[in-house]
Chains A and B, each alone.
Chain A
Amino acid sequence: DVKVTQSSRYLVKRTGEKVFLECVQDMDHENMFWYRQDPGLGLRLIYFSYDVKMKEKGDIPEGYSVSREKKERFSLILESASTNQTSMYLCASSRPTTSFSSNQPQHFGDGTRLSIL
Chain B
Amino acid sequence: QSALTQPASVSGSPGQSITISCTGTSSDVGSYNLVSWYQQHPGKAPKLMIYEVSKRPSGVSNRFSGSKSGNTASLTISGLQAEDEADYYCCSYAGSSTHVVFGGGTKLTVL
A binds B: no
